[in-house]
Amino acid sequence: MTTQAENTSSGLMAKAVKEGIFAGFIAFGMFLLYVGIETYQNIDNQLVWRTRWGLLAVFVVVAAIGRFLTVAFFKPMVDRRKLAKAKTGVLEISSEKSFFHKHFLKIALIALLLYPIGSVMLFGPQGSLKYVDNFGIQILIYVMLAWGLNIVVGLAGLLDLGYVAFYAVGAYSYALLSANFGLSFWVLLPLAGILAGFWGVILGFPVLRLRGDYLAIVTLAFGEIIRLILINWTDVTRGTFGISGIAKASVFGIWSFDVSSPNYFPKAMGLATSSAWYKIFLFYIILALCLITAYVTIRLRRMPIGRAWEALREDEIACRSLGINTVATKLTAFATGAMFGGFAGSFFATRQGFVSPESFVFLESAVILAIVVLGGMGSLTGIAIAAVVMVGGTELLREMEFLKLIFGPDFTPELYRMLLFGLAMIIVMLFKPRGFVGSREPTAFLKERKAVSGSFTKEGHG
């Protein structure tokens, strides 16, 4: 018995070593030209090349060791766990959930509410800027955008590759109307949402008959059209220069965040003059906007229109034969999704104080869509987690100074952002093909059933 076990384990080691070496060779072949050789311009402005054997060696060794560890330790561990689960017969989804799992939403909400206060207490107003602005606000904007896109892609199943267009419409609506007519943030926020929703309907009409790939191509084109208009309609949008000096949001018109203003908020509150207070204020605005988005999505899912969206995703022909007006259903999905994109856009404009077409490139659409897919289409919790991992992760890369010690002083981790993004997507799709939260929570229950499945009663399903 023991000899047999030793036999298999030594066999496993041999296999792992072999596969590790093989992976090293493949990595060498793949990265030889990309990493091993670098081109640069010398002092005479000539393009010359030099080799980076050290860096190439790091890549090869990482690939080889990674493969070795995967085959030797990680896979057997996963297999053992699967086997153990199969033996005990415990299903992966058990009704007994841990305290953390049960109250995840409440804990997350309280943590978010306390987050800016905590970072001010820990790092002081100036030190908290990085955490509140770069991490907090940045992530929440993407959460909101992804939740908005989730209505179109996750619920209604309409693949939209040009979602950033609505974000742009929202941002420019705010920027232009505030610059030209002096309207305040609180007036323009709903207005930007309505305008973006209107554009959602405009996009929706021509693409009503399209599905899947064809729809994706047309929405992609729509996103590019909006961006090109913003670049070329220089009289209004000032082209690539963008619009700067966009008015800050005020505290409901009572206090202002302009230092020169007589009712400057920190002064009125007796706080030190710092831009951190404005960022904290913005953090709470975007948090509120996110919560509104989530609330509306949850409510809509239980209303006829939300059910119709989900049914439309599943089967359009069946929908029609059940008396659902698929035209109206698609248009409302586009309009609702676009509206939230517009809200996020106007928030983005007031936060940056500057908008230019460069903020609304296709890559943004792709990132938002990636977050929706990674999180699990239709799942709000999953999408929020995906946004934290993806956006927070790339922000974190900027902080990784120690990487310079490994890869040399001119290594800029931000440049590898997309590489890591892609890697993360591949890994998640391999292990969780339906995203972080792949299961869909049902919305229909009969009374007697409700008592039985306690895990579904938490949100007051009716």
Partner 1 sequence: MAGENLLKVQGVETYYGNIRALSGVDVEVNKGEIVSLIGANGAGKSTLMMTICGSPQAKTGQVIFDGEDITRLPTHLIARKRIAQSPEGRRIFPRMTVLENLQMGANLDNLKYFKEDVEKIFVLFPRLKERQSQRGGTLSGGEQQMLSIGRALMARPKLLLLDEPSLGLAPLIVKGIFEAIKKLNQEEGLTVFLVEQNAFAALKLSDRAYVMVNGRVTMSGSGKELLANPEVRAAYLEGGRH
Nearer Cβ to partner 1 (310/395): 310
Reading the block at residue 51, the tokens are 């080799």
The nearest distance, CB 301 to partner 1, in angstroms, is 10
The nearest distance, CB 440 to partner 1, in angstroms, is 6
The nearest distance, CB 459 to partner 1, in angstroms, is 16
Nearer Cβ to partner 1 (132/308): 308
- Hey, how many other C-beta atoms are within 10 angstroms of the C-beta on 151? 30
Nearer Cβ to partner 1 (158/171): 158
Nearer Cβ to partner 1 (254/446): 446
Binding segment toward partner 1, per CB under 8 A, in 66-74, 113-121, 185-193, 436-444? 436-444
Size of the site for partner 1 (CB under 8 A): 26
The nearest distance, CB 460 to partner 1, in angstroms, is 17
* The only residue of 442, 454, 455, 459 in contact with partner 1, by rule CB under 8 A: 442
Binding to partner 1, residues 275-334 (CB under 8 A): 304, 307-308, 310-311, 313-315, 317-326
The CA distance from 348 to 192, in Å, is: 12
Q: Of 35, 39, 40, 76, whose CA–CA distance to 57 is shortest?
A: 35
* The only residue of 449, 454, 455, 459 in contact with partner 1, by rule CB under 8 A: 449
The nearest distance, CB 161 to partner 1, in angstroms, is 22
Nearer Cβ to partner 1 (415/444): 444
Nearer Cβ to partner 1 (113/322): 322
The nearest distance, CB 210 to partner 1, in angstroms, is 17
Nearer Cβ to partner 1 (19/310): 310
The CA distance from 404 to 300, in Å, is: 48
Binding segment toward partner 1, per CB under 8 A, in 208-216, 231-239, 258-266, 441-449? 441-449
The nearest distance, CB 340 to partner 1, in angstroms, is 23
The nearest distance, CB 335 to partner 1, in angstroms, is 19
* The only residue of 118, 298, 443, 461 in contact with partner 1, by rule CB under 8 A: 443
* The only residue of 444, 451, 460, 462 in contact with partner 1, by rule CB under 8 A: 444
134 binds partner 1 (CB under 8 A): no
The nearest distance, CB 380 to partner 1, in angstroms, is 16
Binding to partner 1, residues 67-106 (CB under 8 A): none
Q: In one letter, which amino acid is 393?
A: G
Binding residues vs partner 1 (CB under 8 A): 304, 307-308, 310-311, 313-315, 317-326, 440, 442-446, 449, 453
